[in-house]
Structure 1
């Protein structure tokens, strides 16, 4: 998705993902780099005390789906926001339908 994608476009892509519809291929470099950085700080495999409600994280060509445990520390969300901005990625909050452009939450 482009950094200026609308909330409707991002929401539609999220719904396709939930239905199991994905573009085939390796993750985009920005996605792969974000995933490596995120899971270096907060592993998503074979770990107790993980901030993730679902593991491993779902990684596709154009997104990483992360479901945070409701009791995870605020620092995890701050790390997600910081790394998404660093890698030029949108953040989508499916609960509120809000899309945050790269760096919007850390400026």
Structure 2
């Protein structure tokens, strides 16, 4: 989605995903970079994805052209959340908390 997407647009996109309606387009390079960076530290496939200490409640992650859906284990360490937030900010991606519907846009960057 565009960096200026309104929170409701993010929630609407999630509702389309839940219905199985995914855009047929090339993957957003930012989403690919997010997935690659996150799963290089916290694999979502293979034996480490389901081993004790894995942050994932459900693996593999749902990956589409414009989003990654992550279901975190209840005992997920804070460092995992901090990594997700840092990567999303670095790549200018919104985060949607499905528990309460809150959309966390990337932080504003200071002009250089």
Does the pair score TM above 0.5? yes
Tell me what 1:44 maps to: 44
Tell me what 1:72 maps to: 76
RMSD: 1.2
**Of the two, which has the highest radius of gyration?**
2
Q: Which has the higher contact order (CA 8 A, sep 6+)?
A: 1
TM-score (norm 2): 0.87
Cα offset, 1:14, TM superposition: 0.4
Tell me what 2:27 maps to: 27
Superposition misfits of 4+ residues, deviation over 2 angstroms: none
Equivalent in 61, 68, 90 of residue 65 of structure 2? 61
Cα offset, 1:25, TM superposition: 3.2
Structure 1: where are the runs of 5+ without partners? none
Structure 2: where are the runs of 5+ without partners? none
